[in-house]
Chains A and B, each alone.
Chain A
Amino acid sequence: MKIKAFLTAFLAVMTAWPAAAQSIAERIDSGFAAATSPFVNFIFANFPGTNFSWIVVWLVVGASVFTVYFGFIQFRAFGHSLALVSGKYSDPNDAGEVSHFQALATALSGTVGLGNIAGVAVAVSIGGAGATFWMILAGLLGMASKFTECTLAVKYRNEYEDGTVSGGPMYYMTKGFAERGLPLGGFMAIVFSIFCVLGSLGGGNMFQANQAAAQLRDTIGLPVWVTGLTLSIIVFVVIVGGIKSIARVTEKVVPFMGVGYVLISLLILIMNADMIGWAFGEIFRGAFTDTGIVGGLLGALIQGFRRAAFSNEAGVGSAAIAHSAVRTKEPITEGFVSLLEPFIDTVVICTMTALVIIITQQLTVDPVTGLYAITEEGRIAIASGATGGVPITSGAFGSVFSWAPYALSVAVVLFAFSTMISWSYYGLKAWTYMFGEGKTKEMAFKIMFCVFVFIGSVASLGAVIDFSDAAIFAMAVVNITALYLLMPIVKRELNSYLSRLKSGEIRKFE
């Protein structure tokens, strides 16, 4: 076992010079912040004279346009989507191919991650309870964006002679644009791929590693570089060593963790059943009145929209890569299935986190003014004394069940790991789209990905979270532009499918 020997030696050296390790971590951190700030500043720039960032408007306007253009498809097709996932319309002769359920589950394990636990905590700690309202609204609207991008991803995927498939925004940008006679498809595909690689290293990797390391440091006192090193070695073994068994175990455990997370949250809500009405009152009050948060009313809205977008990735184009592998004759069916993704991710799971934080009264209110107590950093003072991300959620769960922070640690590490595995694939697909396929080129990306796991673990939260958001939102700039230009194609598919569904040409198999 070379890896084991190497690890033992490395750990021995690192334990001998903890101070040296610490200073390396600090240097990486400050260098990282300096290197990424211009890009981050551009993405999060406000409209001149307002404090409204243009990127948030971009995402919400996109989701709203798709919602209206497709006639509130997320509500109309919700029941049909569930029927598709449960396999009622699947041809039994296609058994053994990728099912709708599998595509959805895989895409979900890429999106359900720390955004649901840590991101939501950050959003409500800055934007207050009201951020939850806007987050749910953005989640509901985002279902239409996801519907649009996943339909296109299946329609324009590449199917190779050996039976493997490659799909995603890069492919509908090139092939879809060519079909409509539009210019610049190839250019946009490349720009998207660049941001996708950055996003896979940022939100899909460093943010996850960072929060997992922070959680293990806070609960069991593990130094962040130990978590970073361990995680990067495990990721290395899976994506470079091709040891699929680890990935497969995680893929199986993560859905159960997700269900468990929702169940424990529900339990806390039931235990505080008398407070649920109050909690929703707080959410509406925070959404429509000034609760004293920094940025006022708009602050809650911006935080809610930001977190929803970062968590469910609707309009970003990432999950379209995973959804494109499904076996179906009708691309639109995968669009229907994919619209469940923002619903499960944001409207269900993120809302649970927010409700638990609100109902356990983590957000302290000044009894005199009735407004939130704001700290010097401009955040709401948290009852448990925690600051930032996972610790706030952990404190909220811990205030009810003392064992919850440990269970949450396991969930955080597993969610982080499964998200990294999914994003390593998304990033790799974008990478090979730009540089072509080949063992050496793929290896270069994979090794870089593992190095970034370590960097993410030791860099400070502020620098990492900003860069993560920025890279992922940059993907959405390119992707939503393409979706606007290609949405008539989706409309045609939708109308054709719905009329055939109505006429009985498309039938259930059981």
Chain B
Amino acid sequence: MSRKIVVGFDGSEASRRALDFAVGRAKAQGDSIIIAHVLEWSPYSFLTPEELAERHKRRNEELERAEKAILQPVVKRVEDAGVPVTTVIKYGHIAETICQIATDEDAALIFIGRMGHSGLATRIFGSVAGTLAQVAPVPVTIVP
């Protein structure tokens, strides 16, 4: 039975490793891949009046840039490897949004790269991979 794998992808080295690993698994097991790109966003942040007026325009630009610069190049690669692939771009809290995507798409697995930070910021705010491991509705594979 074909399953869906959500791969959290932000264009970084770590997320490339996660995607490569997921492609290998998917190929072996006949699964399909959903590349999920989340733009960090909080509806409770503060903006200047000028930023408010330009927000819709900026959002369209950000979505277009993400699609062109981050997703398109890798989609081609996954397709060439013979794995069925779709993409999702969303705004929100990164870990929560990836979980939401997994639920909405009825995915079986989440793959995510580990950034490897161990600094103070991570201790205070937590990491995406760490949070996902705690709250994900499906098994999570963290790729080092």
Is B116 in the interface zone, CB < 8 Å from A? no
Residues of A within 8 A of B51 (CB): 244
**Selected contact of A163 from candidates B46, B49, B56, CB within 8 Å:** B56
Interface size class of A (residues with CB under 8 A): 35 or more
Q: Which residue in chain B gives the minimum CB-CB distance to A107?
A: B49
User: Does A173 belong to the interface (CB within 8 Å)?
Assistant: no
Residues of the B chain whose Cβ atoms lie less than 8 Å from the Cβ of A321: 49
Min CB distance B81 to A, Å, is 30
Q: Which of B44, B48, B58, B100 has the most CB of A within 10 A?
A: B48
A252 sits at the interface (CB 8 A): yes
Evaluate contact between B55 and A325: CB separation under 8 angstroms.
yes
Question: What sequence of 0s and 1s flags, for each residue 131-159 of chain A, a beta carbon within 8 Å of any chain B beta carbon?
Answer: 00000000000000000000000000001
- Contacts A92-B92, A426-B49 given: A163-B57 contact, CB under 8 Å? yes
Indicate whether B80 reaches chain A with its CB closer than 8 angstroms. Answer: no
Is A110 interfacial (CB 8 A cutoff)? yes
| Pairwise interchain contact A96-B53, C-beta atoms closer than 8 A | no
Give the CA-CA distance A327 to B50 in the complex, in Å: 15
Task: Please state if A97 and B48 are interface contacts (CB–CB under 8 Å).
Answer: no
Interface residues of A in 54-106 (CB under 8 A from B): 87, 90, 92, 95-103, 105-106
Tell me what chain B mostly uses at the interface: helix, strand, loop, or mixed: helix
Which of A244, A325, A425 has most chain B Cβ within 10 Å? A325
Digitize A397-433: 1 where CB-to-B-CB distance is under 8 Å, 0 elsewhere.
0000000000000000000000001100110000000
A101 touches B43 (CB 8 A): yes
**Is there a chain B Cβ closer than 8 Å to A460's Cβ?**
no
Partner of A110, one of B44, B45, B49, B54: B49
Alpha-carbon distance A110/B52, docked complex (angstroms): 13
CA gap between A326 and B47 in the complex, in Å: 12
For B100, give the chain A residue with the smallest CB separation. Answer: A92
CB atoms of A247 and B90 under 8 A apart: no
Task: Name the A residues within 8 Å of B58 (CB-CB).
Answer: 163
Contact B46 A102 (CB under 8 A): yes
Q: How long is the Cα–Cα vector from A90 to B39 in the complex, in angstroms?
A: 18
Which of the residues B43, B47, B53 comes within 8 Å of A251, measured between beta carbons?
Answer: B47
Q: Using Cβ atoms and an 8 Å threshold, which residues of chain B touch A425?
A: 48-50
CA distance A222 to B77 in the complex (A): 64
Across-interface contacts of A166 in B (CB, < 8 A): 53
Chain B residue numbers with a CB within 8 Å of A248 are: 46-48
Chain B residues with Cβ below 8 Å from A376 are: none
Q: Which residue of B lies closest to A254 (CB)?
A: B46
Residues of B within 8 A of A162 (CB): 57
A448: which B residues are within 8 A, CB to CB? Answer: none
A423 to chain B, nearest CB (A): 9
* Contact for B45 among A102, A325, A421, CB less than 8 A: A102
Residues on B with beta carbons closer than 8 Å to the beta carbon of A100: 43
Q: Does A255 reach chain B (CB closer than 8 Å)?
A: yes
- Closest beta carbon of chain A to B59's beta carbon, Å: 5
Q: Assess whether B43 is in contact with A164, with CB atoms less than 8 Å apart.
A: no
Task: Check B59–A106 contact: CB distance below 8 A.
Answer: no
Given contacts A96-B41, A255-B46, contact A102 B52 (CB under 8 A): yes
Chain B residue at minimum C-beta to C-beta distance from A109:
B46
Check if B91 sits within 8 Å of A95, measured CB to CB.
yes
The answer, yes or no, to whether A322 is at the interface (CB within 8 Å) is yes
A41 to chain B, nearest CB (A): 32
Per a CB cutoff under 8 Å, which of A159, A251, A322 touches B46? A251
When chains A and B are docked, how far (Å) is the Cα of A440 from the Cα of B58? 24
Decide: A106 near B54, CB < 8 A? Known: A92-B92, A95-B91. Answer: no
The answer, yes or no, to whether A165 is at the interface (CB within 8 Å) is yes
Chain A residues near B44 (CB, 8 Å)?
99, 101-102
Q: Please give, as numbers and ranges, the residues of chain B lying within 8 Å of A247 by CB-CB distance.
A: 48
Q: B46, B53, B100: which has the most chain A beta carbons within 10 Å?
A: B46
Flag B48-79 by CB within 8 Å of A: 1 or 0 each: 11111111111110110000000000000000
8 Å CB contact of B47 from A102, A164, A165, A254: A102
Q: Mark B99-141, 1 if CB is under 8 A from A, else 0.
A: 0100000000000000000000000000000000000000000
Q: Which residue of A lies closest to B56 (CB)?
A: A163
Given contacts A87-B43, A95-B43, A95-B92, contact A422 B49 (CB under 8 A): yes
* Contact in complex: A252, B46 (CB < 8 Å): yes
Say whether B49 contacts A164, CB under 8 Å: no
Query: Out of B47, B48, B91, which one reaches A96, CB within 8 Å?
Result: B91
Q: Can you list, as one digit per residue, whether each of A232-246 has a CB less than 8 Å from chain B (1) or not (0)?
A: 000000000000100
CB distance from A502 to the nearest CB of B (A): 26
What 0/1 pattern do residues 184 to 215 of A give for CB contact below 8 A with B? 00000000000000000000000000000000
Given A87-B43, A95-B91, A99-B43, also A164-B48 (CB < 8 A): no
CA distance A422 to B90 in the complex (A): 30
Contact check: which of A102, A244, A255, A325 meets B43 at CB < 8 Å? A102
Query: Chain B: which residue is nearest A421 at the CB level?
Result: B48
Name the contact of A98 in the complex, choosing from B52, B60, B90, B92 (C-beta under 8 A): B52
What's the least CB distance linking A322 to chain B, in Å?
5
- Shortest Cβ gap from B53 to chain A (Å): 5
Q: Shortest CB–CB separation between residue B95 and chain A, in angstroms? A: 14
Q: Chain B residues with Cβ under 8 A from A105's Cβ?
A: 46-47
Instruction: Report the bound CA distance from A98 to B46 in whole Å.
Output: 10
Closest 8 CB pairs of A and B: A163-B57, A96-B91, A99-B43, A325-B52, A95-B91, A425-B49, A163-B56, A251-B46
Of the A-B pairs whose beta carbons lie under 8 Å apart in the complex, a sample of 16, sorted by A's number, is A90-B43, A92-B92, A95-B43, A95-B90, A97-B56, A99-B44, A102-B45, A102-B47, A102-B52, A163-B60, A164-B53, A255-B46, A327-B56, A421-B49, A422-B48, A425-B49
Interface positions of A (Cβ within 8 A of B): 87, 90, 92, 95-103, 105-106, 109-110, 159, 162-166, 244, 247-248, 251-252, 254-255, 321-322, 325-327, 421-422, 425-426
Please name 18 further chain A to chain B contacts, defined as beta carbons within 8 Å, in addition to the given A95-B92, A102-B52, A106-B52, sorted by A numbering: A87-B43, A95-B41, A95-B43, A95-B90, A98-B47, A98-B55, A101-B43, A106-B46, A163-B59, A163-B60, A164-B56, A248-B46, A321-B49, A322-B49, A325-B52, A421-B48, A425-B48, A426-B49
